[in-house]
Amino acid sequence: MDTRLIELLVCPVCKGPLQRAPHHAQGDLLVCTADRLGYPIRDGIPVMLENEAVALDAFPEEPVNPLSQPPVAGA
């Protein structure tokens, strides 16, 4: 996908800028960091529909430490 085209496209929800995330777990995506949404790129064509967007909150960027415990209240 052409970089110039990505610069012209905006998020359909907030009208913010998009960035390409080519190696995301869900495939090639155009990502809106403000809304934490990823829009798929299928056959080189971005699918800019809100109902096709992938919520990126479902894919945390940082691994969660299973040994960490929340702070105890009143301690």
Residue 22: give its domain's CATH number: 2.20.25.10
Q: Does residue 26 fall inside a structural domain? A: yes
Element (H, E) at 4: helix 3-8
- How far, in Å, CA of 48 to CA of 3, rounded? 16
Cα-based torsion angle of the residue sequence 39, 26, 32, 35 in order, rounded to the nearest 10 degrees? 100
**Does residue 13 fall inside a structural domain?**
yes
The tally of domains found in the chain comes to 1
Mean per-residue pLDDT pooled into runs of 10, the chain (75 residues): 82 94 78 93 92 80 46 56
Q: What per-residue confidence (pLDDT) applies to 74?
A: 58
The pLDDT value given to residue 4:
83
Q: What is the pLDDT of residue 7?
A: 86
CA distance 15 to 26: 22
Residue 37's domain spans which residues?
3-57
Nearest to 33 by CA among 50, 11, 62, 12: 11
pLDDT of residue 24: 67
What pLDDT does 59 receive? 54
Residue 40 bridge partners (DSSP): 29
For residue 35, tell me if it sits in a domain.
Answer: yes
Quick check: is 66 in a domain?
no
